[in-house]
Amino acid sequence: MAKIKGTVVIDTEHCKGCKVCVVSCPCGVLDLSSQVNGKGYNYCYMANPDACTGCASCAIICPDTCITVYRQKFE
């Protein structure tokens, strides 16, 4: 059975840790890191990468446009 998987790349220096992506992800993939970036923000990361389908909801809503999304179909 074909499976669609996704992944995201987060520009952690652009991220301000607003968490809007975290609550917008339908699959619970993202969370805020306990680490901080150069500006002192807890940036977002893939806490549950296996659940990502590459739907891009997080990237679409990100006010700082710091998420890049990839999606691949596995047969």
By CB under 8 A, is residue 33 in contact with other proteins?
no
By CB under 8 A, is residue 35 in contact with other proteins?
no
By CB under 8 A, is residue 19 in contact with other proteins?
yes
By CB under 8 A, is residue 7 in contact with other proteins?
yes
Q: How far apart are CA 75 and CA 61, in angstroms?
A: 30
* Residue of 13, 28, 35, 48 interacting with other proteins (CB under 8 A): 13
* Residue of 10, 17, 30, 45 interacting with other proteins (CB under 8 A): 17
Q: How far apart are CA 27 and CA 38, in angstroms?
A: 28
Measured in whole angstroms, the distance separating CA 70 from the mean position of its chain's CA atoms is: 11
In contact, 26 and 18? CB cutoff 8 Å:
no
